[in-house]
């Protein structure tokens, strides 16, 4: 998960402690390839080092752990679904002498905007900008709804088996309390519909959070969605947890919603219906179940390599996970 660092250099140093290439070597490669002043971005990921380069600061160069490489075919598919908010990129090979500590290199066009987490407070003070952010998020989800991914029956069956197993893991994780039982029962009841092949299967960002969404700090409109590391195919709606992060945030003692959170939530669904086209009442019930399923899979299970949708909270305590589930469910 991306983090806001109090000491950026120390955190970058921790990343390179496990790499066979140095920070200086990576900076030099970016400078030699694209020119300009090379500077690290203010929000770094746990499995990557990212810099801005280019004479006009138009390029992003990213060095990623080999077990966190980007699938460029899936990135291209994401652009087909979501358009210009997904960066155009290319793989540039590897850097480092020791294969175990090598880093994969990627270049991407730099997208405008700021991480939503950095401008959330200022947007909350401008109701029209906050409303525009929510409308823009609704449009992003409607794009995935309108462009479902077609899979054959064996692939759909594999998804059904995976998520049934992961819901079992939720039950045995120690995170749940009795209060979550009805919501989990609702998810289990709807799971056959979600993985039947009739409900849309969508290209899904594995860690769709307020640090991986860029917005224009003035208008609130989404300008980019970044860090498509573990993109996968899931029933539509599994990442709707991000709506809560647009209308609230976790405080010291629990979740705190904006004063107008109810209005913003209603506006999100109105905008989604407008952009998505006709959505039946039964489909909305399934979307609601998928939304809850996504919460359970994100906060109710612990990360295993290869699982989608739980990246970014792997180090979160059981107590913190329960706070999120209490607020959202």
Q: Give the predicted TM-score (pTM) of the model.
A: 0.91
The answer to whether residues 44 and 141 belong to one domain is no
Beta-bridge partners for 48: 64
| pLDDT reported for residue 230 | 81
Q: Strands 48-53 and 39-40, how do they pair?
A: antiparallel
Least Cα distance to 59 among 36, 28, 79 occurs for 36
pLDDT digits (tens, 9 = 90+) for 104-134: 999 999 999 999 999 999 999 999 999 999 9
Q: Looking at the chain, list the stretches that DSSP marks H as alpha helix, in order from N- to C-terminal side.
A: 8-16, 23-34, 72-82, 116-124, 127-146, 153-171, 181-194, 241-247, 261-276, 281-299, 318-328
Give yes or no: residues 315 and 228 share one domain: yes
CB proximity list for 177: less than 8 A, separation 6 or greater: 322
Could you say which of 68, 87, 109 is where a domain stops? 109
Residue 200, CB-side half-sphere exposure with 13 Å CA sphere: 21
Residue 224 Ramachandran class (φ > 0 left, ψ -120 to 50 alpha, else beta)? beta
Q: Tally the domains of the chain.
A: 2
- Taking residues 267-283, what's their average pLDDT? 96
Burial class from Cβ neighbours inside 10 Å (0-12, 13-18, 19+) for residue 161 reads exposed
| CATH of residue 284 | 3.90.1200.10
Residue 79: which domain range? 3-109
CATH number at residue 54: 3.30.200
Q: Are residue 53 and residue 141 in the same domain, yes or no?
A: no
Residue 105: predicted pLDDT: 98
Cα–Cα distance measured from residue 205 to residue 231, given in angstroms and rounded to the nearest whole number: 5
pLDDT in tens, 209-237: 999 999 999 999 999 999 998 899 999 99
């Amino acid at each position: 998960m991306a983090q806001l660092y109090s000491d950026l250099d120390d955190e970058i140093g921790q990343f390179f402690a496990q790499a066979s290439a140095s920070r200086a070597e990576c900076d030099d490669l970016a400078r030699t390839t694209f020119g300009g002043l090379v500077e690290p971005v203010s929000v770094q990921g746990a499995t990557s080092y990212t810099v801005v380069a280019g004479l006009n600061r138009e390029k992003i160069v990213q060095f990623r752990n080999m077990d966190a490489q980007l699938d460029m075919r899936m990135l291209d598919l994401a652009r087909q679904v979501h358009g210009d908010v997904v960066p155009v990129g290319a793989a540039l090979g590897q850097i480092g002498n020791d294969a175990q500590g090598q880093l994969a290199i990627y270049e991407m066009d730099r997208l405008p905007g700021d991480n939503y987490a950095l401008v959330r407070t200022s947007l909350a003070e401008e109701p029209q900008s906050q409303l525009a952010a929510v409308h823009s998020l609704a449009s992003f989800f409607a794009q995935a709804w309108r462009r479902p991914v077609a899979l054959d029956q064996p692939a759909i069956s594999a998804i059904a088996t995976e998520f049934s197993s992961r819901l079992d893991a939720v039950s045995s994780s120690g995170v749940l309390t009795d209060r979550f039982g009805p919501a989990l029962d609702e998810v289990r009841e709807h799971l056959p519909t979600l993985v039947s092949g009739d409900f849309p299967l969508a290209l899904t960002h594995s860690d769709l959070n307020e640090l991986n969404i860029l917005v224009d700090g003035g208008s609130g409109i989404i300008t980019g969605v970044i860090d498509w590391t573990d993109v996968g195919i899931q029933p539509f709606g599994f990442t709707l947890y991000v709506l809560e992060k647009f209308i609230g945030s976790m405080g010291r003692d629990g979740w705190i919603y904006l004063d107008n959170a109810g209005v913003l939530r209603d506006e999100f669904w109105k905008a989604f219906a407008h952009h998505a086209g006709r959505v039946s009442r039964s489909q909305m019930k399934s979307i609601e179940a998928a939304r809850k399923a996504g919460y359970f899979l994100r906060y109710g299970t612990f990360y295993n390599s290869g699982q989608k949708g739980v990246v970014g909270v792997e180090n979160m305590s059981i107590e913190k996970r329960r706070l999120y589930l209490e607020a959202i469910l």
